[in-house]
C-alpha cells in the first residue's frame, strides 16, 4: 500500500523563473526506506517539503499529492504533526527547549496529550534511543550527533508513520553520521516507519536503503533499487558516479557481476579477481615534498584556554612548505579548529614557537555565516576578478543568507581571498557539500597557487587533493606524509579504497589507483 502518491507535480517559486519541480510522478510504499539524491539545488528539498503540508512553500503548484489516498491539502494540522515527521539539516537550529526531557515532550505537549501519557511515551523513547543517561541534561551540552539523535527521537515519540529527513547528517562528523544512519535503519526495520531521506553521503547510505530516487534539474532521473541506480549512474558516466560506494565503483570497472556496496563484499571480489598476493604497485611512487622552503613552522606549541584548564595543544610541531596543501585530519572536538586559530594568531600559545615567513594569513571559519556583514554578495566582495575565479558572478545580487551552503562557502572563500593572503587556513571546508561542490572546491584550491592548511574529517577529499596529510591526536600531529604513504600506513583511519585492498594492494589509496593496479594485474 502506498503512503504517498504524487501525480504530475509541477512547482514554481514566486520569485524564480524556472520551475523547481517539473512533472514529478512518484509512488512511495508503506515501510520503505527511500533515498532521494541529486545535486544541490535540483529540487530535493522542495519535493520533500511538499510531503509535509505545514512546511510546503508558497508558489504555483500543479498536480496532486495523495497521502494515504486523501489529497494532501485535506490533511489536518493534527494529522500533519502526529503522522508525518520532518527532521531538518542543522541539529542546533531545530532544538526548541533547554532540557532534553522537555524537547522530547514538546511535540506531545502540542498535541495536547495528558501528563501521564507523555511520561510513558517519553520514557519509552529514552529507552529506545539510549537517551536515559542524558535525559536531564541541557540540550546545549550535547554533541552534534546527540543533538540530531534527540531531534529524531522527539519526532518519533509523536508516533509518526512517515519520517522525512533533509540531509540530517551534513553537519555531523563521519562517525556520528554513520551512527545516525544506522539508527534510521533500525527505526525502519524495527518500527516499520516509512523513511524518505535526502543525503550527500551516498557511500554509507546506499547499502541501507530499499530504493533510490535520483533527481536532476527539477525532474526525476531514476527511481529504482540501489543496485540498478548505481549501475545506471556509473554506466552513463553521470557526475554522481563519483559519489557511489567505493567497492561498487571499483567492481564496475573490473567486472560485470553484481555490484558490492560493502567493504567486505568488495574485498571478496578482489580476492576472486587477483588473489590474495600483497602487491606493491610500483607505478604509485610519490614525488617527495621539498621541505627546505618552509613558509610556516610551529615548534613545541602548547595552548590552553584558561590558566587552570587542560592543554589543548600539547607540544605540537609542524612544518608547512611553500605552495602545498597540508591537510590535518583527526577526531571531533579535539582542538583542530583551535590549532588553526593559533596559526592565524587569533589565539596565543603560552609556550613554543611559531615562525612564518609571511604575515598575511587568512582563516576561513567553519561557519561561513560569521563573515557576512552586507546585504548583497557584490557589496561583500566588490571585486569581480575573484568572483569570476570562484565562479560566483551569478550570485552577486543575492543576499548572502539566501544562498545554499556550498555557495555561501564559496562567497566566504572569495571574501577571504580579497586580502590576498599567502597562507590560507580552511576549517572543514567540505562540511555539508555534495560531490559537485567538493570537486569544484578542489579545483579552485588548486588554481589559487597558495599555501593551504586545512583541517577536515573528509578522508576521501584529503586523499585525493592534499599534498601532505597529518594525523592530529591528543594535541599533537602524530604522523604525517604524502597521502599515499600516509593512508597506506594507517589501518583504520584511511580511505575506503585503502581499506578494501589492504593486504591485497598495499599502496593504493584512491579508487582510480586501485582500478589501474588491478587492470595492470589482470592483463
Partner 1 sequence: MIRCYFSDYHPIVLFIYFISVISFAIFLMHPVCLLISISAAISYLALLRIKKYMLAIFLIISIINPLFNHAGVTILFYLPTGNPFTLESLLYGIATSFMIITVIAWFCCYNKVVTSDKLLYLFGKLLPQLSLIISMVLRLIPLYKIRFNKIMHANPSDNAFKTAALVVSIMVTWSMETAIDTADSMKARGYGLPNRTTFSNYKLTTRDIVVSIGLVVMSGYLICSNKLAVTYIPIFNYTQSLPDFIIYTILCYTPIILSIMEELKWKYLISKI
Q: Which residues bind partner 1 (CB under 8 A)?
A: 52, 54-55, 77-78, 80-82, 85-86, 88-90, 92-99, 101-102, 105-115, 118-119, 122, 136, 138-141, 151, 154-155, 158, 341, 346, 363, 365-367, 369-373, 401
Three-state secondary-structure class, residue 171: coil
- C-alpha dihedral (392, 395, 401, 407), degrees to nearest 10: -30
Three-state secondary-structure class, residue 257: coil
Q: With 0-12 CB in 10 A as exposed, 13-18 as middle and 19+ as buried, what is 376? A: middle
Instruction: Choose between 153 and 212: whose C-beta lies nearer to partner 1.
Output: 153
Instruction: Choose between 88 and 253: whose C-beta lies nearer to partner 1.
Output: 88
Among 504, 506, 479, 509, CA closest to 494: 509
Minimum CB–partner distance for residue 11 and partner 1 (Å):
18
Minimum CB–partner distance for residue 347 and partner 1 (Å):
8
Instruction: Choose between 28 and 157: whose C-beta lies nearer to partner 1.
Output: 157
CA separation (Å) from 79 to 1, 85, 333, 493?
19, 10, 40, 45
Minimum CB–partner distance for residue 101 and partner 1 (Å):
6
Instruction: Choose between 455 and 497: whose C-beta lies nearer to partner 1.
Output: 455
Minimum CB–partner distance for residue 324 and partner 1 (Å):
25
Locate 365 and state its grid cell: 571559519
Instruction: Choose between 140 and 285: whose C-beta lies nearer to partner 1.
Output: 140
Q: With 0-12 CB in 10 A as exposed, 13-18 as middle and 19+ as buried, what is 138? A: exposed
Three-state secondary-structure class, residue 316: strand
The two beta strands, 423-427 and 451-456, are parallel
Minimum CB–partner distance for residue 195 and partner 1 (Å):
16
Instruction: Choose between 91 and 247: whose C-beta lies nearer to partner 1.
Output: 91
Minimum CB–partner distance for residue 303 and partner 1 (Å):
14
Phi, psi values for residue 13, rounded to 5°: -75, 145
The two beta strands, 468-473 and 351-356, are unpaired
Minimum CB–partner distance for residue 449 and partner 1 (Å):
24
Locate 519 and state its grid cell: 587492470
Instruction: Choose between 171 and 451: whose C-beta lies nearer to partner 1.
Output: 171
Strand order, beta sheet including 351-356: 313-321, 294-303, 351-356
Among 471, 502, 503, 501, CA closest to 486: 471
Instruction: Choose between 88 and 263: whose C-beta lies nearer to partner 1.
Output: 88
Amino acid at each position: 500500500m502506498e503512503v504517498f502518491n504524487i501525480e504530475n507535480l509541477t512547482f514554481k517559486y514566486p520569485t524564480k523563473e524556472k520551475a523547481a519541480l517539473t512533472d514529478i510522478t512518484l509512488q512511495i510504499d508503506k515501510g520503505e526506506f527511500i533515498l532521494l539524491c541529486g545535486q544541490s539545488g535540483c529540487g530535493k528539498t522542495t519535493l520533500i517539503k511538499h510531503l509535509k503540508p505545514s512546511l510546503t512553500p508558497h508558489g504555483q503548484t500543479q498536480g496532486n499529492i495523495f497521502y494515504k489516498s486523501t489529497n494532501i491539502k485535506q490533511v489536518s494540522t493534527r494529522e500533519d504533526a502526529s503522522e508525518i515527521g520532518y527532521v531538518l539539516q542543522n541539529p542546533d537550529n531545530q532544538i526548541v527547549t533547554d532540557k532534553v526531557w522537555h524537547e522530547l515532550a514538546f511535540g506531545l505537549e502540542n498535541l495536547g496529550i495528558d501528563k501521564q501519557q507523555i511520561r510513558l511515551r517519553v520514557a519509552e523513547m529514552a529507552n529506545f534511543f539510549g537517551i536515559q543517561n542524558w535525559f536531564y541534561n541541557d540540550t546545549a551540552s550535547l554533541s552534534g550527533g546527540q543533538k540530531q539523535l534527540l531531534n529524531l527521537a522527539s519526532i518519533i515519540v509523536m508516533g509518526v508513520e512517515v519520517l522525512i529527513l533533509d540531509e540530517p547528517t551534513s553537519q555531523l562528523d563521519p562517525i556520528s553520521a554513520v551512527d545516525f544512519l544506522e539508527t534510521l535503519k533500525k527505526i525502519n526495520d524495527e518500527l516499520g516507519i516509512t523513511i524518505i531521506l535526502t543525503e550527500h553521503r551516498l557511500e554509507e547510505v546506499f547499502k541501507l536503503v530499499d530504493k533510490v530516487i535520483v533527481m536532476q534539474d527539477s525532474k526525476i532521473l531514476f527511481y529504482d533499487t540501489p543496485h540498478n541506480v548505481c549501475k545506471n549512474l556509473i554506466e552513463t558516466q553521470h557526475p554522481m558516479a563519483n559519489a557511489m560506494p567505493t567497492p561498487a565503483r571499483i567492481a564496475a570497472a573490473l567486472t560485470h557481476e553484481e555490484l558490492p556496496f560493502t567493504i567486505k563484499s568488495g574485498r571478496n571480489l578482489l580476492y576472486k579477481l587477483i588473489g590474495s598476493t600483497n602487491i606493491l604497485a610500483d607505478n604509485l611512487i610519490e614525488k617527495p615534498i621539498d621541505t627546505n622552503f618552509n613558509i610556516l613552522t610551529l615548534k613545541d606549541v602548547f595552548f590552553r584556554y584558561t590558566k587552570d584548564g587542560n592543554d589543548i595543544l600539547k607540544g605540537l610541531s609542524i612544518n608547512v612548505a611553500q605552495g602545498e596543501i597540508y591537510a590535518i585530519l583527526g577526531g571531533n572536538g579535539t582542538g583542530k579548529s583551535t590549532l588553526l586559530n593559533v596559526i592565524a594568531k587569533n589565539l596565543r600559545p603560552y609556550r613554543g614557537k611559531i615562525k612564518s615567513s609571511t604575515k598575511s594569513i587568512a582563516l576561513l571559519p567553519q561557519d561561513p555565516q560569521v563573515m557576512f556583514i552586507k546585504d548583497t554578495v557584490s557589496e561583500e566582495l566588490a571585486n569581480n576578478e575573484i568572483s569570476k575565479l570562484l565562479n560566483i558572478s551569478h550570485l552577486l545580487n543575492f543576499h548572502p543568507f539566501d544562498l545554499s551552503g556550498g555557495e555561501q562557502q564559496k562567497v566566504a572563500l572569495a571574501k577571504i581571498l580579497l586580502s590576498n593572503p599567502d597562507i590560507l587556513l580552511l576549517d572543514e571546508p567540505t562540511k555539508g557539500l555534495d560531490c559537485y561542490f567538493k570537486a569544484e572546491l578542489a579545483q579552485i584550491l588548486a588554481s589559487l597557487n597558495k599555501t593551504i592548511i586545512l583541517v577536515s574529517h573528509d578522508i576521501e577529499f584529503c586523499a585525493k587533493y592534499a599534498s601532505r596529510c597529518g594525523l592530529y591526536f591528543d594535541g599533537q600531529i602524530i604522523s604525517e606524509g604524502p597521502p599515499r604513504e600516509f593512508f597506506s600506513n594507517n589501518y583504520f583511519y584511511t580511505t575506503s579504497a585503502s581499506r578494501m585492498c589492504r593486504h591485497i594492494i598495499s599502496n593504493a589509496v584512491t579508487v582510480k589507483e586501485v582500478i589501474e593496479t588491478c587492470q595492470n594485474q589482470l592483463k
